[in-house]
Amino acid sequence: MTAIYNQYILNFKRPSGTSRGVLTTKETWFLEIRDGNRTGIGECGILRSLSVDDRPDYEKKLKWVCENINLGAEELWKALKEYPSIQFGVEMAFRSLEAENKFELFSSAFTMGKAAIPINGLIWMGEKAFMKEQISEKIKAGFNCIKMKIGAINFETEISLLKYIRSEFPSKEIELRVDANGAFTPEEAPEKLMRLSELDLHSIEQPIKQGQWAAMTDLCKKTPLPIALDEELIGVFDFEEKEKLLKTINPQYLIFKPSLIGGFRGTQEWIDLAEKYSINWWVTSALESNVGLSAIAQWTYTKNTKIPQGLGTGSLYTNNFESPLEVKDGKIQYNPDISWKFKI
């Protein structure tokens, strides 16, 4: 058994704004395992400035994985605790190697094209006119759950945009989620949450920066608007620490990005704890290519969750790989009649 890795740069169709800056490209790495005539593909979906494994030795660690690929998926996952995106790529690649079709990792009604997964429509930060345009497009495309990034432009402008959506579409028609990406300070967060709650929103992701457990605990206890932890989960490796975080903060929701929290196995640990403490959750992609997105969608379908997931990022790039993934009527589906075109 041998393995190689390659870097691939995904180019955004248009600059995409977050509270941490504007994205024009997205770096990703592909791990390919070869065993006789079989090959397995895994995507190591690092997100610079957010991934805990955004480290100078990242490529060196990928080289180490290739040199030690015969350790197998289990031992490599354990050895890569501090490199969750590589854990994800390793899990994917081994699963792909064993699959009849290397891109169909979890066979189900989803991969047979008989079932779809409801997803949210993502609205990126930008000028008011651009955000309004995106909102209209998502609603026309059949989405009944919209997620809007907030925290980068003027808060009053964001409030007016949300009011605009609500004036046109009540909550029984459109579910609205917002994602602050840690943009608020602990001091200003309570008032901003109060104002946002008046707009009948579903939830807010990560209102303050991660790592402020006391402040986040207080917010989750008193908030008028359900809070979903996202970045807060990044870099929490040990099961005991994960449980301590949930028992301490007691959030209303959790959001899982497998590339950022240890792949499927790391995510499953969070799911087990969420169910233990009766915390609802959903899964979100971390801007992977269609290869990683497809693997996450296939796995997510097997979890039988009914609420909209955050898996609608495949159309963001000019040079994504052609795949069976399609988004129709606010759902992601897998069309087995469409072939993969994967070449790097």
Catalytic residues: 149, 257
Taking the C-alpha atoms of residue 128 and residue 104, their distance in angstroms, rounded to an integer, is 40
Specify burial of residue 235 (Cβ count, 10 A radius: 0-12, 13-18, 19+).
middle
C-alpha distances in angstroms, 29 versus 84, 115, 218, 267? 13, 30, 39, 20
d(CA 190, CA 176): 19
Residue 234 buriedness (CB in 10 A; 0-12 / 13-18 / 19+): buried
Spatial neighbors of 180 by CB under 8 A, at least 6 apart, are 19, 150, 151, 204, 205, 206, 207, 208
Please answer whether residues 298 and 105 qualify as being in contact, where contact means their C-beta atoms are separated by less than 8 angstroms. Answer: yes
Distance CA 166, CA 28 (A): 37
* DSSP symbols for 169-231: S-TTT-EEEEE-TTBB-TTTHHHHHHHHHTT--SEEE-SB-TT-HHHHHHHHHH-SS-EEESG
